[in-house]
Amino acid sequence: MATLTVLKTPREAAAWAKRVRRAGQRLALVPTMGALHEGHLSLVREGLRRADVVLVSIFVNPTQFGPTEDLARYPRDLEGDVAKCAEAGAAAVYAPEPGMVYPPGYQTYVEVGELSQGLCGARRPGHFRGVATVVTKLFALLRPHVALFGEKDYQQLQVITALAQDLELGVEVVGMPTVREPDGLAMSSRNRYLGAEDRRRALSLSQGLFDAQAQEARGVRDAESLRKAVRDRLDAANVKEDYVELVDARTLKPLERVETGHAARLLVAAFVGATRLIDNVPVPREGT
Ligand code: AMP
């Protein structure tokens, strides 16, 4: 296993990234909040295919959590995460303290327009402003050639793709498919919150999405029926819907039906007990 550098301050991280670029190497960035699982590690491995060197940032970003959300109890395991990054082939981990990222007097934020407004943006005010701000700061500090994100957080991926383009940051944003547990549950750091009973109930999200994809494959095209397929699974598992939406895969605008040759996405957010989970799939199943 190659040695891995742990960078703790923005200054150290910027200097390290600059050395990589000066050496003529391509740098890939994988931004995370830690508590790493196979979903995150799939991004590291793809980073190694697209660049010479991969840096993983691990930062539980306070500005993307609402006042009633789980910032304080979000799972943290830096030692375990560093070992996983080394094993996957990352060259460095950047794990700053919040005070280093947002020092006293900090007052600059990045807001992406319409893409941030529906879905999770409507339910978590300020969330995407926090995400867009921290990701822009990472891009500016490290100047990666490529940055990898998961489709698991589909709206986030679209928001970051837009900001990289709009601000001409010169970074290629790559989205990667959702990595799932063998039974279909989308991997998530928040799955650690689930006890055995809730873990079983959490399966209703992916099952509902898969049911809807199967219906679509049989010719059901209207949003109401596809959304109902998801809701039926949530209801049966006594899981509380936050939203179920069929949207255009690029603009995230709501759709009334799936049109041939037009990529759509079905997204769900729901509360399994106190734990809010999200998942999404392409419609049709293979995307277009
Ligand atoms: P997080 O640590 O949850 O903020 O996620 C960091 C990155 O990993 C984001 O780009 C996520 O979309 C991605 N990610 C999280 N879970 C998965 C998953 N199950 N499959 C693929 N990517 C994921």
Number of the ligand 1 atom closest to the C-alpha atom of 153 = 12
Give the per-residue pLDDT at 99.
Answer: 98
What residues form DSSP beta bridges with 247?
254, 265
pLDDT band of 287, cuts 50, 70, 90: low
Q: Which atom of ligand 1 is nearest to the CA of 148?
A: 10
Q: Which residues make Cβ contacts (< 8 Å) with residue 99, sequence separation at least 6? A: none
Question: What domains lie within the chain, and their CATH numbers?
Answer: 5-176 (3.40.50.620), 189-283 (3.30.1300.10)
Atom 5 in ligand 1: which residue has the minimum CA distance? 32
Q: What is the mean pLDDT of residues 129-151?
A: 98
pLDDT of residue 1: 55
Q: What is the pLDDT of residues 225-256, one digit of tens each?
A: 999 999 999 999 999 999 999 999 999 999 99
Is the pLDDT at 216 greater than 60, yes or no?
A: yes
C-alpha–C-alpha distance, residues 158 and 140, integer Å: 19
Amino acid identity for residue 60 in this structure: V
- What is the rounded distance in angstroms from the CA atom of residue 71 to the CA atom of residue 126? 14
Residues 231, 235: Cα–Cα separation, whole Å: 6
Cα–Cα distance, 27 to 104 (Å, whole number): 30
Structure tokens at 284: 């049709």
Q: Residue range 13-41: average pLDDT?
A: 98
Please identify, by atom number, the ligand 1 atom nearest to the C-alpha of residue 189.
Answer: 3
Q: In this model, does residue 143 exceed pLDDT 90?
A: yes
Percent of the chain residues past pLDDT 70, beyond the cut: 99
- List all residues whose CB is within 6 A of at least one atom of ligand 1: 32-33, 39-40, 42-43, 149-150, 152-153, 176, 178-179, 186-189
Report CA(237)–ligand 1 centroid distance (Å). 25
Q: State the pLDDT at residue 3.
A: 87
| CB 28, CB 53: distance < 8 Å | yes
The answer to whether the bond into 62 is cis (omega within 30° of 0) is: no
Kind of pairing, strands 240-248 and 264-272? antiparallel
Distance 181 CA to ligand 1 centre (A): 14
Q: What is the mean pLDDT of the chain?
A: 97
**Binning pLDDT at 50, 70 and 90, where does residue 2 land?**
low
Percent of the chain with pLDDT over 90: 98
Say if CB 282 and CB 152 are below 8 A apart: no
Span from the CA of 188 to the centroid of ligand 1 (angstroms): 7
Question: What whole-number distance in Å separates Cα of residue 131 and Cα of residue 175?
Answer: 16
**Catalytic pick among 37, 40, 127, 145:** 40
Strand partners, 93: 6, 56
Banded model confidence at residue 286, pLDDT cuts 50, 70, 90: confident
pLDDT value at 282 more than 60: yes
Ligand 1 pocket: which of 152, 209, 280 to mutate (most atoms within 8 A of CB):
152
The whole-angstrom separation of Cα 141 and Cα 139 is 6
Q: What is the pLDDT of residues 156-208, one digit of tens each?
A: 999 999 999 999 999 999 999 999 999 999 999 999 999 999 999 999 999 99
Cα 219 to ligand 1 centre (Å): 31
**Cα 134 to averaged position of ligand 1 atoms, centre (Å):** 15
- The minimum-distance atom of ligand 1 relative to the CA of 179 is 20
- Asked about 40 being catalytic, the answer comes back as yes
Closest CA to 2 of 67, 62, 92, 63: 92
